[in-house]
């Protein structure tokens, strides 16, 4: 157990026993005088000890008080993988989501086995915390959720990593640029602040997520901000790359 010293000092004094007085007079006092003559002891130290003997008192004990430091809270996340993405040159925040759906989920080309119709620019563009711009680069850290984590836990993790909240737009970029690199059998959540999220039926805030099934199929759906995220969930944390770093 790791401990921390918080106190170390004299606790009390009492009169010495006969045996203790004999030890003081026969052993301790001559030793002090010898060390004093050899210049290895401050005269004040000798005087203090002699005064205590003359007063018939002795130090009874010294006590070191130790405390165990608070146990760190277990981390609810584990890093699964990292990858880089870049906001494309033709990116337009105001139309990104509708354009993305037209490209990847149209009548002739349905890349998702399910695509939530509420993931639109109307619902997720205007209030977005971060309005991405062309050329911005990110290192995306994919943190697996070990058991369960709340949405507040996820937001705190993004903040701790100095991450950027990119919401549905960020999730769409990850799918478009790195979908083949995503570990399968998991769903990837891209957060925004609660008040920036679209409010669905029953007033619940909805968080965008891309599901990568073990069979290779994908889903673009919405989870509940008010609910917990299970061990199949992965938190996408977008961290800005320095300018000029690829």
- pLDDT per residue as tens digits for the range 187-217: 999 999 999 999 998 899 999 999 999 999 9
Query: What is the reported pLDDT for 29?
Result: 72
Q: Distance between CA 143 and CA 188 in Å, rounded?
A: 9
Longest CA span, the chain: 104
**Alpha helices (H) along the chain:** 18-23, 29-37, 43-54, 96-104, 121-124, 151-160, 167-178
| Cα distance between residue 240 and residue 162, in whole Å | 9
What string of H, E and C letters represents the secondary structure of 45-59? HHHHHHHHHHCCCEE
How much is the pLDDT for 241? 95
- Which residue ranges of the chain lie beneath pLDDT 50? 1-3, 5, 7, 9, 11, 246
- Which structure tokens are listed for 113? 């086995």
Contact 238, 172 (CB under 8 A): no
pTM here? 0.71
The two structure tokens encoding residue 195: 């008040």
The pLDDT, as a whole number, for residue 3 is: 47
């Amino acid at each position: 157990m790791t401990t921390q010293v918080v106190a170390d000092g004299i606790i009390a004094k009492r009169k010495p026993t006969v045996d203790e007085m004999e030890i003081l007079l026969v052993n301790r006092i001559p030793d002090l005088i010898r060390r004093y003559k050899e210049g290895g002891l401050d005269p004040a130290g000798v005087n203090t000890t002699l005064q205590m003997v003359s007063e018939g008192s002795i130090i009874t004990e010294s006590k070191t008080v130790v405390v165990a430091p608070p146990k760190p809270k277990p981390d609810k996340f584990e890093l699964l993988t990292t990858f880089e993405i870049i906001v494309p040159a033709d990116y337009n925040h105001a139309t990104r989501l509708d354009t993305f759906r037209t490209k990847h989920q149209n009548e002739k080309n349905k890349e998702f086995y399910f695509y939530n119709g509420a993931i639109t620019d109307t619902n997720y563009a205007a209030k977005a915390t971060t309005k991405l711009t062309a050329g911005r680069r990110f290192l995306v850290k994919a943190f697996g959720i070990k058991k369960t984590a709340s949405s507040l836990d996820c937001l705190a993790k993004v903040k701790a990593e100095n991450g950027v909240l990119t919401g549905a737009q960020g999730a769409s970029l990850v799918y478009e640029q790195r979908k083949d690199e995503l570990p399968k059998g998991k769903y990837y959540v891209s957060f925004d602040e609660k008040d920036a999220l679209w409010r669905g039926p029953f007033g619940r805030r909805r968080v965008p997520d891309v599901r990568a099934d073990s069979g290779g199929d994908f889903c673009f759906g919405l989870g509940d901000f008010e609910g917990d995220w299970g061990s199949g969930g992965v938190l996408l944390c977008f961290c800005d790359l320095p300018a000029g770093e690829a």
